[in-house]
Structure 1
Amino acid sequence: MLTKVLLILLGLSIILPSRSEGPHVESENRPSAYDDVYGPQPQAAEEKLLSEETKPTLSGPHSTLGKLPTATHILNSILNNYDHKLRPGIGEKPTVVTVELSVNTLGPISILDMEYTIDITFCQTWYDERLRYNGSFESFVLNGNMVSQLWIPDTFFRNSKRTQEHVITMPNQMVRIHKDGKVLYTIRMTIDAGCLLHMLKFPMDSHSCPLSFSSFSYPESEMIYKWEDFKLEINEKNSWKLFQFDFTGVTNITETISTPTGDFMVMTLFFNVSRRFGFIAFQNYVPSSVTTMLSWVSFWIKKDSAPARTSLGITSVLTMTTLGTFSRKNFPRVSYITALDFYIAICFVFCFCALMEFAVLNFLTYNWTKPRASPKLRHPDIHARALMPPRASAHQHPDAFVCQIEDSDESDGEEGPSCPAQQSLSPGGIQNPGGCCKWCKKYVCVVPRCEGSIWQQGRLFIHIYRLDNYSRVVFPVTFFFFNVLYWLVCLNL
């Protein structure tokens, strides 16, 4: 019995070691399924993790992680003892800031508010000896998050009303540091700047809209601005919003302004624009001229058509008033009149004079003579006669006077009382109702036929019944010469 137990234990001792060591030996001696495959051999999980932690990832012939610690070390070394609150060269020499500008969009120009909008990329360059470094990197490009860690010039735009810095998707600003200490700072912004518009020659006006900038706190003894050979990039291919204006060029000046806090250097750019004339011409000049010409139609309407002539004259005057108001609707309230205001005012005067011409004609026709005789007394072959009133009534009404109506060929188609001057009861030979001034007797003829000794040879006088004939010539000719003189003066100034 004891012998059997010993044999069983001996057998178990032989079988158990063989089972535990069999797989390990097999894994070493058995050929692997990956021996015939070209490529990296599979590794155990533990060895793979170790390799990922210790071996750098290669991307090309050089390792990028070899440059990254170097760049980080350089930035940390130059910014470690850097004080961004102090300007470079403080106490020794002024900081020279070189400026370069790129105009992305110009306009619109608001005439009512006297301002314009401009979208620019503003570049400033200066040297900071504290940022010098040695290394294989020629420059570092840093985004807007690093701007707060460097000294930046406190440049501000003196005539700006509103300024917007673009922050989509990140703040649109950049800093580039060169190994020799040169710093380039670039920022994009949109500025609403004031522009004083001189509207005296409107709408043939030209303007220079300024954009001036300087340091806010550093006087000229500490900070100096200068142009980079006056480099100004103008991207006219962009959709500029000048609308009524044409861009004619840009100029610049540099000046020093004295203030209670010191003398500051101010740089100013002038964007020159000239107004396009087509819009104003069709909106103001053409309607004004046409309305003035329409008021002359009344000269071809008979004198007896008082309602037609009166309504036409009043309509012309009211239309000119509306045009004058409309031209000032989107216009600044300046204290002087412009060229357009003067033109509309003259057109208004022409329309008003055309209306007053009929009023004067009507007044002289029906008030300088007595009422017409009844139609029964009219005969084409009978000349005008002065019918004397009875002696008794003559003393009561010494100026009483009755004229017959004459329709003869001598009146040139004009209807009116034919009372020759010598037949008048007044001492001067011409009837003088209402106490008219003396020069009217000498230079104004009321009756169709002006006969008598009073009309001396070579004297200029006006035939009242032919006032419409005179107006048909005088008004157009005067308006023509006014336009010639107006445009010559406005276009040559």
Structure 2
Amino acid sequence: MLNDLERKYVSSVNRVTVCTNQISMTLRILLQVMLVNSALGSYCLEGFTSPDCNNLEGILSKQFVNYSRYERPKYPRNCSGHGDNDTCNDAVFVEVNFFINAFSSISIVDMDYQIDLLLRQRWYDPRLNVSDRYSYTDAPIHLYMRDIWLPDLFFRNAKSGNAQSNASPNTLAWVSSSGMITYSQKISVCLYCHMQLWDFPMDTQFCSANIGSYGYSTKDMEFRWWNQDGYDIDGRKRNGSVLNTAVTFGGDLRLNEFDILAHNCSYCYKAYNATGNFTCLNVEFKLGRKFGFYMIYAYLPSLLVVLIAWMSFLIDCDATAARTSLGLLTVISLITQSAAVLAQLPRVSYIKAIDIWFFVCFSFVVSALLEFAFVNTAARQEARNRGWVLGDTSIDDLATPTSGNESSQSPRRRSRARKKVSVRLTKTLPIYCLTARRLDRLFAIFYPVCFGVFNVIYWSIYLGNGSIPDDRFRR
């Protein structure tokens, strides 16, 4: 019995020891986690203590106690050392960049285009500068969006959509301990774009997005393109292609009808007598049209219609019904096709490249029909002048003498005369087609040659226009 009790006692002691070790290890791990969290969660600088050192929300909420969203940030600057183009006052500088997700539609009829983009702005607000006590970066403040001052940015050439109203549910904002605010919006806006269609459909369009401030003049606020090297608190302007880095495109951005060839970022100003000068930013997109659709559905079919019209010269000149039907069919086909294509284009008062193409094709098709009409009419007139066209006169009348001794002619003799006249007409009537056939052969040669020369001139002019370089654009 004693041995059993000893064994039970030893077993219970071992279990207690194991449990004690597990509890001790668990407490040690919890203590280490608490120490790590305390170290990572501290936002206070060394030597500064505060109850909010581990409470970022508490730090941010205190900054907005005496903050007025109706007062813009002000940062007095030293005027010494600034150039003529630099601003030296307490104006706030707002840097802007675009990340374009999609060009939703480009309408040549309505003269507009729609873009979906992420618009980011950043500016310095000295009222939120707590870098002497705290240190944090990219602290989210979208819960305080109704409490902070925001730039009144708007698109000057917008036809529909508004950056503030459309993007209000899709906004984010961050602030750093130095007072740097970054504000991001997702925007879908329809912008006006005046398009020149002289070279349509081999044209290149230039569409711009122009943004500016609605209520703040240059003495209060100025926009700057985003500086990849960091925010410039003095707002010094950069020039050249380095500005283009402020606008980027999504990697899968594709357009059905256009290629984005390049873009160019620049600065602009708007002066008004009543309200003063306003700053603005302008980005211009160079869009090259993909004319493969028009090659398939406009140029190639009309080319085939011209070819079919040329085949009428290979049909015999006396096949009046066949050549007339073929000529009218080609004319009607070309008119129908051109009307279908031009119905999709705006009604402009100048001649487009595709108008010239259809006009020349129509001229060639009509010329084939007019050539046959001229040949047929001229041949009939020539035959009538030479007596080959008999009208209502019968062969019996030609074979009957006009003298008074008609009764003396024997039937056999009149029969021989009738045969001679019939043979003579059979040999002479087809002669009128000789001139028509010569003219047909002449047209059959010069018709395709002239059309080929036109094609060489046409395509060299309009395809060459798109290869002219423009130093303003760099992609």
Paired with 2:34 and 2:154, the residues of 1 have a C-alpha distance of 46
- Percent of pairs identical after alignment? 27
Structure 1 residues 477 and 62: CA distance shift in structure 2, 3 A: closer
Deviation, 1:84, is: 0.7
| 8 Å CA contact retained: 2:167, 2:187 | no
Match of residue 264 from structure 2: 251
Paired with 2:271 and 2:71, the residues of 1 have a C-alpha distance of 24
| 8 Å CA contact retained: 2:168, 2:185 | no
Match of residue 363 from structure 1: 377
Alignment partner for residue 347 of structure 1, among 361, 368, 377?
A: 361
The 5-angstrom pairing of residues 342-491 of structure 1 reads: 342-370=356-384, 372-373=389-390, 405=425, 407=427, 415-416=430-431, 463=435, 466-491=438-463
Deviation, 1:360, is: 1.3
Answer with 57-66 or 187-196: which moved more: 57-66
| 8 Å CA contact retained: 1:165, 1:172 | no
The 5-angstrom pairing of residues 140-289 of structure 1 reads: 140-163=138-161, 171-229=169-227, 230=243, 231-238=245-252, 240-259=253-272, 260-289=274-303
Paired with 1:151 and 1:477, the residues of 2 have a C-alpha distance of 71
Match of residue 63 from structure 2: 78
Match of residue 89 from structure 1: 74
Cα deviation, 1:413-468, whole Å, max 9, x if unaligned, reads x9235xxxxxxxxxxxxxxxxxxxxxxxxxxxxx96xxxxxxxxxxxxxx556322
State the SS of the aligned residue for 2:215.
Answer: coil
Deviation, 1:271, is: 1.4
Q: Output the TM-score relative to the length of structure 1.
A: 0.69
Alignment partner for residue 319 of structure 1, among 333, 347, 356?
A: 333
Paired with 1:202 and 1:171, the residues of 2 have a C-alpha distance of 40
Unaligned runs of 5+ in 2: 1-12, 25-30, 43-50, 77-88, 228-242, 397-401, 404-420, 466-475
Match of residue 318 from structure 2: 304
Paired with 1:277 and 1:140, the residues of 2 have a C-alpha distance of 47
| 8 Å CA contact retained: 1:172, 1:187 | yes
Answer with 242-251 or 143-152: which moved more: 143-152
Structure 1 residues 79 and 140: CA distance shift in structure 2, 3 A: farther
Match of residue 16 from structure 1: none
Deviation, 1:117, is: 2.0
Paired with 1:169 and 1:356, the residues of 2 have a C-alpha distance of 63
Read off the aligned partner of 2:56 and give its amino acid letter: A
The answer to whether the aligner puts 1:101 opposite 2:114 as a matched pair is no
| 8 Å CA contact retained: 1:124, 1:186 | yes
State the SS of the aligned residue for 2:444.
Answer: helix
The answer to whether the aligner puts 1:122 opposite 2:128 as a matched pair is no
Deviation, 1:198, is: 0.9
Paired with 1:220 and 1:241, the residues of 2 have a C-alpha distance of 37
Structure 1 residues 479 and 140: CA distance shift in structure 2, 3 A: closer
Cα deviation, 1:284-321, whole Å, max 9, x if unaligned, reads 11111110110111112122221111110001001110
Deviation, 1:115, is: 1.7
Unaligned runs of 5+ in 1: 1-30, 42-55, 378-388, 391-401, 409-413, 418-446, 449-462
State the SS of the aligned residue for 1:99.
Answer: strand
Structure 1 residues 258 and 169: CA distance shift in structure 2, 3 A: closer
| 8 Å CA contact retained: 2:167, 2:185 | no
Paired with 1:340 and 1:270, the residues of 2 have a C-alpha distance of 26
State the SS of the aligned residue for 1:361.
Answer: helix
Read off the aligned partner of 1:87 and give its amino acid letter: R
State the SS of the aligned residue for 2:310.
Answer: helix
Answer with 468-477 or 313-322: which moved more: 468-477
Q: Output the TM-score relative to the length of structure 2.
A: 0.71
State the SS of the aligned residue for 1:290.
Answer: helix
State the SS of the aligned residue for 2:338.
Answer: helix
Deviation, 1:258, is: 1.6
Paired with 2:57 and 2:459, the residues of 1 have a C-alpha distance of 71
Deviation, 1:164, is: 6.7
Deviation, 1:140, is: 4.8
Paired with 1:187 and 1:68, the residues of 2 have a C-alpha distance of 31
| 8 Å CA contact retained: 1:144, 1:171 | no
Paired with 2:117 and 2:37, the residues of 1 have a C-alpha distance of 40
Aligned length: 382
Deviation, 1:124, is: 1.2
State the SS of the aligned residue for 2:285.
Answer: strand
Alignment partner for residue 19 of structure 2, among 37, 50, 59?
A: 37
Cα deviation, 1:51-107, whole Å, max 9, x if unaligned, reads xxxxx9964533469767642442233211111101112896211111222222234
Superposition CA RMSD, Å? 3.6
Answer with 149-158 or 481-490: which moved more: 481-490
Deviation, 1:165, is: 6.5
Structure of greater Rg: 1
Paired with 1:317 and 1:156, the residues of 2 have a C-alpha distance of 52
Structure 1 residues 165 and 57: CA distance shift in structure 2, 3 A: farther
Match of residue 61 from structure 1: 36
